[in-house]
Amino acid sequence: MAVLLLPVDYIMFVKRPVTVDLNENECHAYKYVGQEELREIIRKSKKGEEGITITPWFALIAETFLFKWWDSLDNVEIHKDTETIHRF
């Protein structure tokens, strides 16, 4: 049974090779994915397929914000909003 947990405190965009120093007290594992793979992970989680689970709030954040930010990586400033508090 595979379980995927994606806690999010921050969403960080990095456009370069990175080294991850995983703190196993905070995160069991990580995986680099593209947009389509992440969409598929979210879909499978919602349908309960393959034992994949993610937090509902992560799916909501991804579907509401993450994918449009991802599409604008070269100009992410167009989405900057420091005034709005989003209540989900």
Question: Which contiguous run of DSSP H or E holds residue 38?
Answer: helix 35-47
CA 34/CA 11 separation, integer angstroms:
15
Q: Report if residue 3 sits inside a domain.
A: yes
Q: Report if residue 82 sits inside a domain.
A: no
Q: How far is CA 71 from CA 16, 75, 76, in A?
A: 17, 9, 9
Q: Report if residue 59 sits inside a domain.
A: yes
pLDDT class for 2, splitting at 50, 70, 90? very low
pLDDT tens-digit map of 38-80: 999 999 999 999 988 888 888 888 899 889 988 888 888 898 8
Per DSSP (E only), the strands in the chain are none
- Regarding pTM above 0.85, the answer is no
Domain count, the chain: 1
Q: Report if residue 88 sits inside a domain.
A: no
Q: Residues of the chain with pLDDT > 90: what percent?
A: 20
Specify the length of the chain in residues.
88
Instruction: With beta carbons less than 8 A apart as the criterion, state whether 75 and 47 touch.
Output: no
